[in-house]
Amino acid sequence: MGGMSGYGPPDRFNEEKATYTVRGSDTPDLDAGVAAIRNVLKTLPNRSGVYRMQDAKGDVLYVGKARSLKQRVANYTQVKQLPKRLQRMVSQTRAMTIVTTNNEAEALLLEAQLIKSFRPAYNVLLRDDKSFPFILLRADTDFPRVQKHRGARRAVGNYYGPFASAGSVNNTLNALQKLFLLRSCTDGFFKTRDRPCLLYQIKRCSAPCVGRISREDYAELVADAKNFLGGKSTQVQAKLGSQMQAAAEAMDFELAAVLRDRLKALTFIQGTQAINAEGVGDADVFALACLEGVIGIQAFFIRGGQNWGHRSFFPAHVADVPEDEVMLSFLTQFYEEVPPPRTILVDREVGEGELLSEALGARAGYKVSLSVPQRGDRRRLMDQAKRNAREALERRLAESTTQAKLLREVADLFDLAEPPDRIEVYDNSHIQGTSALGAMVVAGPEGYRKGQYRKFNIKGKDTIPGDDFGMMREVFRRRFARQLEEAPDRDDGTWPDLVLIDGGRGQLNAVKGVLEDLGIEDVCLVGVAKGPHHGREGREVFHLMDERELTLPVNSPVLFYLQRLRDEVHRFAIGAHREKRAKAIGASPLDEVPGIGPARKKALLMHFGTGRAVRNASLDDLKRAPGVSAAVAQQVYDFYHAH
């Protein structure tokens, strides 16, 4: 939510822990499980709390909450009234851990916390546990920076979010650059500039680093950005319109054109909202669809009447679980870390919905309402969410072990908004710094796009031969500086959705710094490095921009796919390097002499033996070479001996 200062785990609960264990075999046994539960019942208090079912090894099978622990746990001894799923759980239960709380709302929050921690086999699980991105508008400098943010909110400033995905927040950041010309560069880059960067040239920044805008005027841009993020886009639009008209009346047509472009960008953004959320304010919208025993939940994130993205979720362990119970469990886990808006809209009545509202409101510090919309804009929005939920679930079920599924899993792995349409993979090749070049291969849903492969001859004066980091920096600087010039609006399909770099944390940080210097922070970069067992396939480590490192199971189809991409860039880089080296080996000093074609070059080399001998030959010796005229001999001699 706009301007939110923080949202974290609840205050420490008043805990009273006790573990009751019945010794016995770890083989599923319904009688043994019931005996363990009855043993616990003897001393259970009649108060609210959370209970954990555990097997003989101590692994958590299930986490539940109760207004009255004694009454709730007693239900598990009535095995004939339990669904098959819970009967299986009871048959594996050999121990329980009890935590008492002050009230049932606290128990609900603690239940979600423990489910996320233990991920029990018999609880509905929110499988997507990635953190959500926010936009941070810093407030600790004279010229605040706008940036994407994940994790703890420690920096001073205004936080806006959550956004549904990295793609959603990147689109909004891109809009902010066009509309308000706020800086996105790091503080270190900002302090060392002595001339405007490329973003100023393409009208994406006001260049406060070199004084192209006053502190007061920049503060006004910041205020406009806050209004935009706070849902007052109409107010910002009216202000830009009046400023443009005033500039035109004052005959300042250059300023009027700049304001016109900013107004056009705002109008375009408003016109491309895929969801009509006008009048809804701040709300999260959830709709559930169920097909073939699989459940999908569609979430829309609305802030200030603006669509901040949507995401599909597919909870696990939902077999034989009522849909309203799935929705309740999903919501409690979803809001375990994400701050709730004041309004949560759902497509069905949720059991204990009032309890959930109470618990979320107590944690957030303001009233949170949970409701099912019946009419008007909210009902139309819910209908759209339900339609999207069903379509997303149908796509999910239609996927098989095809390229579409692989790309969907790649998107899930690297937190992309959508399956990548363009993947770029980079590698360097050289021998002790000689014949150095960089290579880029491109892949998409249809496979490799070999017509878009590129080679980069390393030629920068600042690039030290053999410096892999420096070579990678040069490749990325040339590649993306050109992208900014040729496709600043990123609408021609040549901007990558995912960039893979052959290398570890060092290479990743090197290219990340280059993109930050160019003002590009919304390209997903991943370093692909060999693991601790060099040379063994399947031990690759994937380095992410947020310092995380991922590994995949050795039989993972996604791992095989990413390995194929890496092998393809290896093949292309090595082939290009060999070709360049062969040309260098076959090169001759005569290649530099103007007017000397292949036939005469061959004649001279056959006569003198080497290029060095040709260079050292006298004019008379050159004239005596077969097939070489006096004019050509003079031309060769003058080329090597002219002062």
pLDDT tens column, 520-547: 888 999 999 876 654 455 578 999 988 8
Write down the pLDDT at residue 533.
Answer: 52
State the pLDDT at residue 111: 94
- 629-640: average pLDDT: 80
Same fold, 415-582 and 589-641: no
User: Per CATH, is 283-398 categorized as 3.30.420?
Assistant: yes
Arithmetic mean of pLDDT over the chain: 83
| AA letter at 517 | D
CB contact at 8 A, 146 and 135: yes
**Per-residue confidence (pLDDT) for residue 596, from 0 to 100:** 74
Neighbours of 531 (CB within 10 A): 12
Please give the pLDDT value at position 535: 47
Q: CA 183, CA 298: separation in Å to the nearest integer?
A: 34
Q: So where are the chain's domains?
A: 18-118, 134-231, 283-398, 415-582, 589-641
192 has pLDDT over 50: yes
Which CATH number fits the domain 589-641, given the four candidates 3.40.640.10, 3.65.10.10, 1.10.150.20, 3.10.100.10? 1.10.150.20
Return the pLDDT at 5: 38
For the domain spanning 18-118, the CATH number is: 3.40.1440.10
> What was the pLDDT predicted at 90?
94
pLDDT for residue 592 is more than 70: no
**Whole-model pTM?**
0.64
Question: 468 CB contacts (<8 Å, ≥6 apart)?
Answer: 428, 503, 507
The alpha carbons of the chain give a radius of gyration, in whole angstroms, of 32
- Average pLDDT for 473-486: 90
Exposed e or buried b for every residue in 580-608, given b needs 16+ CB within 10 A?
bbeeeeeeeebeebeebeeebbebbbebb
Residues 328-351 have pLDDT tens digits of 999 999 998 788 999 999 999 998
pLDDT at residue 375 in the model:
87
Mean pLDDT in residue range 12-23: 45
With 0-12 / 13-18 / 19 or more C-beta atoms within 10 angstroms meaning exposed / middle / buried, residue 376 is: exposed
Higher local confidence (pLDDT), 444 or 463: 444
Q: State the pairing for strand pair 541-544/549-550.
A: antiparallel
**Mean pLDDT computed over 599-621:** 76
- b/e per residue 311-345 (b: at least 16 CB within 10 A): bbbbbebbeebeebebbbbbbbbbbbbebbbebbb
pLDDT of res. 464: 75
pLDDT digits (tens, 9 = 90+) for 216-262: 989 988 888 888 777 676 777 788 788 888 888 888 887 788 778 77
For residues 453 and 440, the answer to whether their CB atoms sit within 8 Å is yes
Q: For residues 588 and 386, which has the higher predicted lDDT (pLDDT)?
A: 386
Asked whether the predicted pLDDT for residue 24 surpasses 90, the reply is: no
What's the mean pLDDT in 47-55?
Answer: 94
Q: Report residue 297 as tokens.
A: 């939940």
Q: Which helix (H) or strand (E) holds 406?
A: helix 403-414
Per residue in 441-461, pLDDT (tens digit) is 999 888 888 888 998 888 777
The residue that leads in pLDDT, 306 or 191, is: 191
Strand, coil or helix: what is 129?
A: coil
DSSP per-residue codes, 248-263: HHTT-HHHHHHHHHHH
Q: Across residues 25-30, what is the average pLDDT?
A: 74
Residue 508, pLDDT score: 92
Question: For a pLDDT cut of 90, what percent of the chain falls above it?
Answer: 35
* Interval 410-435: pLDDT, tens: 999 998 888 999 999 999 886 655 66
pLDDT beyond 80 at 369: yes
> What's the confidence (pLDDT) of residue 275?
56
Class of domain 415-582: alpha beta
User: Got the DSSP string for 276-342?
Assistant: --TTT-SEEEEEEEEETTEEEEEEEEEETTEEEEEEEE--BS-TT--HHHHHHHHHHHHTTTSPP-S
pLDDT value of position 279:
67
pLDDT number for residue 399: 66
pLDDT value of residue 107: 93
Checking DSSP bridges between strand 95-100 and strand 18-21, what pairing results, if any?
A: antiparallel
Greatest mean pLDDT range, 119-123, 232-236, 465-469 = 119-123
Higher pLDDT, 522 or 26: 522
Higher pLDDT, 378 or 281: 378
Distance CA 641, CA 616 (A): 9
| Least-confidence region, from 56-60, 455-459, 512-516, 522-526 | 455-459
Ranges 151-155, 174-178, 280-284, 378-382, most confident: 378-382
Q: Which residue has the higher pLDDT, 187 or 232?
A: 187
